[in-house]
Structure 1
Amino acid sequence: MSRRRWGVAALAVGALSASLAVAPANADVETNGHHGYSKTRTVGYFIQWGVYDRNFRVKNLVDSGAAARLTHLNYAFGFLDEAGKCVSADPWADWQMPHTAEQSVNGKADEAGQVLAGNLNQLKQLKAKYPKLRINISLGGWTGSRYFSNAALTPESRAAHVKSCTDMWIKGDLPGLPEGAAKGVFDGIDLDWEWPGSNGNMAPPNVVRPEDKQNFTKLLAEYRRQMGWNRDLTAFLPADPKQVDAGFEVRKVFCYLTFGTLQGYDYHGAWDAPANQQSALRVPKGDPSEFEFSSEVTVNAWLSRGAPRSKAVLGVPFYGRGWDGVAPGTRNGLFGTGVPAPAKYEAGYEDFHRIKAKLSEPGSAYKIYRDGKAGFAWIYDGKTWWTYDDATEMKRKARYINDRRLGGAMIWSLDGDTPQGELIKALDGALK
């Protein structure tokens, strides 16, 4: 299960109603994880379903060294029901699945009858081992955003949504368990509404309303009213400038957010015929696309509309996008047409460590190519073409974040790295 993010694919609160929470004067000040008092963040997503086919556990974050390098960990995803209230997407993975001693962060096997098991118990153990790590529950995602518009629609629906989510994930009142069974696991909430005012997933289609743009701001205000200002409130934000304008009152939104993560990937994929970059810093020369997308385009869109640099966190991918049947052309397959490349979990989508392994397979004809000016890499064997970010590109992204004085980097998703944490070590090591 992957996550195609988009279909391409002086506080300004005076205009809000008097019922909205008002940001304190020091709302931009925070203490972030292991880096102490710092604005640079290393944020990583842990996917709930990774415990199945990928057999990727919370303990893997310890073994790879990733946990020690993260300031924030987002657990993806919690879902919303039709009324807009929080529900678990998978209770078995969340709090029921038992872990053996070898699978557990603390090295002890879960016991029969214990109140809390699953990923949440492992996150609780992770927090005990890394007490400065902030762990947030991420709500929505590509397949879980259908009913956000319902949640945000009215003052009553917003209040009910936030109460249900904070009761479940912050207070830890999980269905069927004693009150507060998961209290203390999560520090805050990450909203992945994809997208206010414009559609994301179309099967089934999300509920979309013209007033989503204003209602998203009001929803954030309701979160602050109920949660206060000492908890993280973050949001995943789109790459497409058109979706920015359709769904976000940027200055007002960032008044409420601890920080926002900007989509830095899925600029192109196998839904497009031409083999093209999916995470380049800049638009490559000769790009045949009708609309140009890149990290620079995205960052400039948000900053020009009022997002503070210190709160703008750039997303980076630990996976790649691929095409098959691509003719060589003049640029080693770049912009050649093809179809989704065969892959382990989804055609056209592959984890970084699996793409890296293709280079060393017996008889492999793959070679690495780079566009240093645009800032992206790909491998190509004369037929199959994969674009991805390796350690070299991660360092390039970190330098860009440093040079633009952005608020850090966000990773989708941590399971794509090598067991040795090759990508996160390169990324975090180069961030200032």
Structure 2
Amino acid sequence: MRSGTAIRSRPVRRRATAALAALALPVTAVVGLASATSAHAAESATASYTKAADWGSGFEGRWTVKNTGTTTLSSWTVEWDFPSGTSVTSAWDANVTNSGTHWTAKDKGWNATLAPGASITFGFNGTGSGSPSGCKLNGKPCDGSTQPTDAPPSAPGAPVASDITDTSVKLTWTPATDDKGVKNYDVLRDGIKVSTVTGTSYSDSGLKPGTDYSYTVQARDTSDQTGPASAARTVRTTGDSGPGPQPGSKVKLGYFTEWGVYDRNYHVKNLVTSGTAEKITHINYSFGNVQGGKCTIGDSYAAYDKAYTADQSVDGKADTWDQPLRGNFNQLKKLKAKYPHIKVLWSFGGWTWSGGFGDAVKNPTAFAQSCYELVNDPRWAGVFDGIDLDWEYPNACGLTCDTSGPAALKNMMQAMRAKFGKQLVTAAITADASDGGKIDSADYGGAAQYLDFYNVMTYDFFGAWDKTGPTAPHSPLTSYPGIPKEGFTTDAAIAKLKAKGVPASKLNLGIGFYGRGWTGVTQKEPGGTATGAAPGKYESGIEDYKILKTSCPVSGTVGGTAYAHCGTQWWSYDTPATIAGKMDYVKKQGLGGAFFWEFSGDTTNGELATAIDSGLK
């Protein structure tokens, strides 16, 4: 809220900006392990890459060569490829040269010899993304193995689908050829291996009705080499998948932040280890950008390039340097293979990146086309089930002010539905129900007919952007005596949206997995004065629930949410108990469900996600 006149859009989402800056923090990406040239089986070595620093316009990279064999290594040469626009500007402890985008680093002579177990690190400064690929050490592949002498098998024929039902399909294909014989075939569904068979047919089961699946097949020879994948075959099962959860169930959606893999060290696997994955129905992957009238990638390294080790990966399998998809997208594919009930949407915009929507909606059809092509890009086929548009705010002010007019949101959603068809189309929207506020600025009722549901951002009503207070809970369910501004509650927002024609079943109530706080406060109850924002780990005035539950325990409740006074600090945040009350409200109001911002604010055992799940049963 600024000057007490308009609801503030989750400044928590401004962490996108801070997170992009966090790329400048040390980030380790093991790109490859390479086998060294050897005359003996006992001579071997590895090469690993670390992006030691990133300052936006440039970065520092480091390679470490280690002798992992039992004989001395007398020299080393590391080769790799950089994407166009990335280059080395200076180097130390190695002679680095290039031919186009291919780079070569040779030992300096004095550091050429490596005894068994010894290692040498050389580094360089560069410009661009700093994400290498195609690593080789002394001319050998970057997987730590030796190269078989025989050729890999050919690609099998594209799978042919038959006997398609609501939950199964039979696949057959023409065999691959190999100079020493084909041993078996790997069957991949949406890029994830689902079976290895010896014949040329496979029946896949346990599928979802009315759902598209992409199948490819790879042959494996007697040396265990895999050949190229076959052409893909898309199969749609019979029946109707519906727009989301099955009838009678509630939406339980969480936001996964792209930048959380850096300083927050929160990864897709955390959804599994916390027990959260089995308790949610949807994930919003945030955020994609909106630029030049199009949907665009946010952080490509985190999205599809970051390499995961076995212990970091959802399925316990490490990424290889040459696999076509890595990063969060590949981990989400693995998560969906393990938990097929989860639907994943790519969310675009947010507080930081909403400024591009105004230009985009000048041509809604072209904008929808660009978004559809990006969300359904073949490189990450099977990851996303639809799109979420997080425009903060149509025909109103957020970080920037929009003047597209009240019909812009409806026009955009109509174009999105026309393009995305049966895929999910959703939106995160304001909860400002004040007279003449943001809900009144756009045609949310008219747009609702084209959406599967709205995520109503029923948090960040009050916070330390009003540095002197008065202190007030940032996510009140209902009004209370002394509330700083009427219309800034969950109940008021839901009531106004329903009055504008939005069906209750298309409204999801928002929960913040964080608190907002002030410092310089002497009064325990809400309504006290303050001197500024309380300190937070990532941003002043905001802190994760997992920290606040012990650093500043709850003092009381007001308006259906909790508050805490500790020392000179005053915080408000939701707890399992207040979430239970809000989930009861969801059921009594007939709402579609609940969502939350965002996963990493929860405890390691997912107690807030558990409270949402339990409250909606």
Q: How does 1:59-70 map to 2 (within 5 A)?
A: 59-70=269-280
Aligned CA distance change for structure 1 residues 338 and 284 (closer, same or farther; 3 Å): farther
How far does residue 369 in structure 1 lie from its aligned partner after superposition?
2.1
* 1:336 corresponds to 2:529: yes
Letter in 2 for 1:323: W
* 1:415 corresponds to 2:600: yes
> Relative contact order (C-alpha < 8 Å, sep 6+): which is higher?
1
Tell me the secondary structure at the aligned position of residue 445 of structure 2: helix
Deviation sequence 1:254-313 (CA, Å, 0-9, x none): 1000011111100101112221110111122122x2444111111111111111011111
Match for 1:30 among 231, 238, 242?
242
* 1:122 corresponds to 2:327: no
* 1:354 corresponds to 2:532: no
How far does residue 102 in structure 1 lie from its aligned partner after superposition?
1.2
How far does residue 371 in structure 1 lie from its aligned partner after superposition?
2.6
Partner Cα distance (1:316, 1:337) in 2: 25
Match for 1:93 among 287, 302, 314?
302
Partner Cα distance (2:326, 2:397) in 1: 35
Residue 197 of structure 1: aligned partner: 395
Partner Cα distance (2:451, 2:315) in 1: 33
Q: Which has the higher strand share?
A: 2
Partner Cα distance (2:309, 2:592) in 1: 38
Deviation sequence 1:72-130 (CA, Å, 0-9, x none): 1100000011x211111111111111111111111111101211111111111111111
Match for 2:268 among 40, 58, 68?
58
The answer (yes or no) to whether the contact 1:191–1:235 under 8 Å persists in 2 is: yes
Q: How does 1:268-347 map to 2 (within 5 A)?
A: 268-272=462-466, 273-287=469-483, 289-328=484-523, 331-332=524-525, 334-347=527-540
The answer (yes or no) to whether the contact 2:395–2:403 under 8 Å persists in 1 is: yes
The answer (yes or no) to whether the contact 1:96–1:118 under 8 Å persists in 2 is: yes
* 1:152 corresponds to 2:152: no
* 1:2 corresponds to 2:195: no
Deviation sequence 1:191-249 (CA, Å, 0-9, x none): 00111001111xxx35x2242x2122111111111111x111000010112111112x2
Partner Cα distance (2:404, 2:396) in 1: 9
Query: Which piece of structure 1 moves more, 37-46 or 54-63?
Result: 37-46
Tell me the secondary structure at the aligned position of residue 286 of structure 1: coil
Match for 1:73 among 283, 287, 296?
283
Letter in 2 for 1:274: P
Residue 386 of structure 2: aligned partner: 188
The answer (yes or no) to whether the contact 2:319–2:326 under 8 Å persists in 1 is: yes
Partner Cα distance (1:70, 1:54) in 2: 21
Aligned CA distance change for structure 1 residues 45 and 64 (closer, same or farther; 3 Å): same
The answer (yes or no) to whether the contact 1:333–1:380 under 8 Å persists in 2 is: no
Residue 430 of structure 1: aligned partner: 615
The answer (yes or no) to whether the contact 2:392–2:398 under 8 Å persists in 1 is: yes
Partner Cα distance (1:321, 1:245) in 2: 26
TM-score (norm 1): 0.84
Letter in 2 for 1:217: K
Match for 1:392 among 560, 573, 577?
577
Aligned residues: 378
* 1:223 corresponds to 2:416: yes
Residue 255 of structure 1: aligned partner: 449
Partner Cα distance (2:429, 2:528) in 1: 27
Unaligned runs of 5+ in 2: 1-10, 16-240
Residue 10 of structure 1: aligned partner: none
Letter in 1 for 2:242: E
Deviation sequence 1:37-62 (CA, Å, 0-9, x none): 33511011101110011100000011
How far does residue 324 in structure 1 lie from its aligned partner after superposition?
0.5
Aligned CA distance change for structure 1 residues 70 and 290 (closer, same or farther; 3 Å): closer
Partner Cα distance (1:4, 1:38) in 2: 35
* 1:240 corresponds to 2:449: no
| Larger of the two Rg values belongs to structure | 2
Identity in percent: 39
The answer (yes or no) to whether the contact 1:319–1:352 under 8 Å persists in 2 is: yes
TM-score (norm 2): 0.59
Deviation sequence 1:118-157 (CA, Å, 0-9, x none): 111111111111112110000100001111011111xxx2
* 1:381 corresponds to 2:566: yes
